[in-house]
Amino acid sequence: MLTVVSDTHATEDHRLEGRTLEAVREANLVVHAGDFYTETVLDAFYEEADTLRAVYGNNDDSATRERLPEERVVEYAGIRFAVTHRRRGGATALALFGRERDADAVIFGHSHRPTFDDSGAIPLLNPGSHAQPRGNRPAHAELERVEDTESPVLAGRLVTPDGEVFERFRIPTASP
């Protein structure tokens, strides 16, 4: 399973709880789309996740920025994800960011609003914030490879720390 989180905004610990903590611990890969705040929080994520791939956000301290890239490409189950915290210019800029990196989908954070949008040129996934939702639901994303009769896909869901699944989506893989 791939677990996606963002916008922790903490100074002391990872602020993971409930299903979000379970999902991070169960995941083969965890992607964090930035805004840990401090290096202590980044280290707390490394302690919980078997494999963590992260980018820094606009609120991360200099120690965190020295350890993480601003953007990266991550592959999981045949899907190539372009990962960033934010891009000025909204969905158009995010889609361009993904296409420039030959990605199948984009993972981003910053807004604290859990969203999956496949209406444009490339699917866009924002897991929201598990710890500081700012008027939105606290959330993270979980994705798993599913073998369909037609072709393999990643089945995804947006989930609250209480375990409520409030949106389901699919991302087709680049090749079977």
Are 95 and 101 in contact, with CB atoms under 8 Å apart? Answer: no
Residues 6+ apart with CB under 8 A from 41: 8, 10, 11, 12, 13, 14, 15, 64
The phi, psi pair for 72, rounded to 5°, reads: -160, 165
- Max Cα-Cα span within the chain: 48
Q: What is the pLDDT of residue 71?
A: 98
pTM: 0.96
The domains of the chain are located at: 2-172
- Rounded distance, CA 152 to CA 174, Å? 9
Residue 115: is its pLDDT beyond 90?
yes
Strand 140-147, strand 2-5: pairing: antiparallel
CATH fold of the domain at 2-172: Purple Acid Phosphatase; chain A, domain 2 (3.60.21)
Does residue 62 carry a pLDDT above 90?
Answer: yes
32: pLDDT strictly greater than 90: yes
